[in-house]
Chains A and B, each alone.
Chain A
Amino acid sequence: MTVPALEADALGKRFGRRAWALRDCSFRLPAARVCAVVGSNGAGKSTLLALAAGLLAPTEGTVRVLGAHPAAARPRVGFVAQDKPLYPQLTVAETLRMGADLNPGRWDADTAHRAVAGGDLDPGRRIRALSGGQRTRVALALALGKRPELLLLDEPMADLDPLARHELMGLLMGEAAAHGTTVVMSSHVVAELEDSCDHLLLIGGGQVRLSGEIDDLLAAHTRVTAPAGADLAPHEVVESRTTGRQLSAVIRPSGPLPDDWRTHTPSLEELVLSYLRNPTAPAPAPEILEAAV
């Protein structure tokens, strides 16, 4: 790959004198990926996206966006914040016209209108009169109409009903595929990301716990069921639990596994949950993180 879409090096952000929202984060996201940023609430997902969008300055470390400083890359980046801020006094049509005026030379009116068209939205309606889902649609239309090379979405689908979620996700993925856009979206609903994303960034306690291509990450982990008391060494253990005479664990094998262990590849949700439940689980070695780059 050429220039990474997003590259963080020892990135940290502290608000005032309070605790660090994000600390010592290093990862690389190749271009043209659809990346899921997952983590529990308050893990630092929104802070990471705001740093990448050039809306916050890092306290320490650096983040490079499309090979440039976030402020310099801002014209090539689309961002939708979690609460979908829009000017309430404007109509839907005015909001899109504003998008055209604020992004001269970049604006793609067709894409923007397509995003709004699916929602049965009256263009003359004021933003303040829209439902949460309709606002999301307009906010996405503004971000997509800019034809960004990198699209940062903070909990984009949170306000949507399943039908609209499915439809908008389809639109988003279609646009991303058609234009080679890199999409980074955060969510705490892992299931909604599994079908659309090919890259994972797991944030926990303000740090990167896991980062890489989802397929590689899943392949590097094994879910095993073994007799209770089995010795899991020398494999790296993410999570293990003993129920009765049975031990079940998520491990990163470092060699062949005994024949009497039953093994299968974990689902993305199982993998993410095993890391979230065990904040002290060791992070994979860098070669897994870098494998996809």
Chain B
Amino acid sequence: MTAALTAPAAPAARPAGVPRQWRWLARLHRSALIGGGALVLLTAAALVWLGGPLTDASAAAWKAYDACGFTPRCSYDQSAILLYKDVYNYVTFAVLAVPFLVAAWAGGALVGRETESGTASLAWTQGVSPARWLASRLVLPAVLTVAGTGLLAALHRWAWETGRDRIDTAKFWYDAATFHANGIVPVGLALAGLAAGALAGLVLRRAMAALAAAAVAVGVLWGAVHAALPYLWPSVTRVTALDEGPLGRGLHVGEGVLTAGGGRAAAPCLTSRMQGCRDTLADMGATAFYRDLHPASHYWPLQLVATGILLAVAGLLTYAAFRVLRRTTGTTRG
């Protein structure tokens, strides 16, 4: 049978039109949007609770405790103190878990499930070019990720600041978890996780494998940034006398002794008030202790450099994802 009964329709005359894929992206990931939104709101509510009533109760309890002095019979609200500590630890953990959740979702559900089941090719043959398809899957989640993670980190910082001078056991600014949760590192980490998930989904074409790979990538990235953190900004050196030992609070980079020749050496012991230590220090010609550290004023420079590195990694991963897509589908441009 020959099918050429009528002239082919003339689609060139029709307007090309841009596919309306945004509402379908939202529809396809409706449950993730609702779940993720609920998670952010619950954590935000917990942070407000922490920074408000829990901080007040804990601060009052600490005030009562400090007023006790050495009075043998004295009462203070210990449960308020413990509740504050527990909730603080949980919400810090929740804020830091967001990048992992974003990466796992991006690898597993956003891209990996579509490449595994073939619905990605369905979209590509339904008028959405591969590049547009990937762009939509990066832009909308990126906006929501920045908004959600940013809100939680900002609230975490607020909650921490309200308790900082009133609660005796409040975390120092350089405590590892608090350092990250208080700033913009989680935002950079979440964006890198999103890009890593998209790339893993395109390369591995398996939802579970991409989920795991993206989550591991976030862990490795975070570990690397954390290890490099002390060296991301020039540190400050504090020199102290031999009988004082190395001093100075902040994010430690390194410490040791300064020798008469102007060199640095590892500290064999930490104070010249002890006979043995004094002799050892004299033998090596030590003149003072030193400690390299970052004072609190370095908090934002360190956060900015760390986040900048993470954003650069996110950009590279995004570029790689588009390259992979272009090479597999042979698309020259979007």
Contacts and interface: CB of A to CB of B under 8 A. Distances in A.
B329 interface: yes
Contact of B15 (A55, A83, A86, A105): A105
B118 A85 contact: yes
Given A83-B118, A106-B11, A180-B8, A74 B125 contact: yes
User: Among the interface residues B9, B20, B31, which one has the most CB atoms of the partner chain A within 10 A?
Assistant: B9
B127 A75 contact: yes
A245 to B, nearest CB: 41
A179 interface: yes
A245 B182 CA distance: 93
A135 B119 CA distance: 13
Contacts of B30: 89
Given A71-B332, A106-B11, A99 B126 contact: yes
Interface bracket on A: 35 or more
Interface stretch (A18-26, A29-37, A155-163, A223-231): A29-37
B330 A57 contact: yes
B127 A86 contact: no
Interface in B15-56: 15-21, 23-24, 27-28, 30-31
A179 B329 CA distance: 28
A211 B154 CA distance: 67
B8 A54 contact: no
A79 interface: yes
Given A55-B125, A58-B330, A86-B122, A102 B21 contact: yes
A7 to B, nearest CB: 16
Nearest to B326: A57
A196 interface: yes
B123 A102 contact: yes
B7 A104 contact: no
A116 B244 CA distance: 85
Interface residues of B, number: 42
Contacts of A86: 119, 122
A86 B3 CA distance: 29
A178 to B, nearest CB: 6
B327 interface: yes
A146 B17 CA distance: 13
A34 B1 contact: yes
Given A54-B329, A103-B127, A85 B119 contact: yes
Contact of B19 (A34, A104, A182): A104
A33 B1 CA distance: 8
Contacts of B21: 101-102
A94 interface: yes
Interface string A47-91: 000100111111000000000011100111111010101110110
Given A147-B11, A177-B5, A106 B328 contact: no
- Majority SS of interface residues in chain A? loop
Given A86-B122, A102-B24, A70 B17 contact: no
B297 interface: no
Interface in B222-248: none
Contact of A54 (B3, B5, B19, B331): B331
A189 to B, nearest CB: 18
Interface in B55-71: none
Contact of B329 (A55, A99, A103, A196): A55
A192 interface: no
Nearest to B131: A71
A173 B127 contact: no
A57 B327 contact: yes
A54 B124 contact: yes
B184 to A, nearest CB: 34
A149 interface: yes
Interface in A184-201: 195-196, 198
Nearest to B22: A101
B121 A75 contact: no
Contact of B328 (A53, A57, A75): A57
A98 interface: yes
A183 B1 CA distance: 12
A74 B329 CA distance: 11
A104 B2 contact: no
Contacts of B280: none
Given A54-B331, A71-B332, A101-B20, A142 B126 contact: yes
B4 interface: yes
Contact of A76 (B11, B23, B122, B330): B11
Nearest to A175: B3
A176 interface: yes
Interface of A: 31-34, 50, 53-58, 69-71, 74-79, 81, 83, 85-87, 89-90, 94, 98-99, 101-106, 142-143, 146-147, 149, 173, 176-183, 195-196, 198
25 contacts: A32-B3, A32-B4, A34-B1, A54-B330, A58-B330, A85-B122, A87-B122, A89-B28, A101-B19, A101-B23, A101-B24, A102-B123, A102-B127, A103-B127, A104-B15, A104-B18, A143-B125, A147-B9, A173-B3, A177-B3, A179-B6, A179-B9, A180-B6, A183-B3, A198-B1
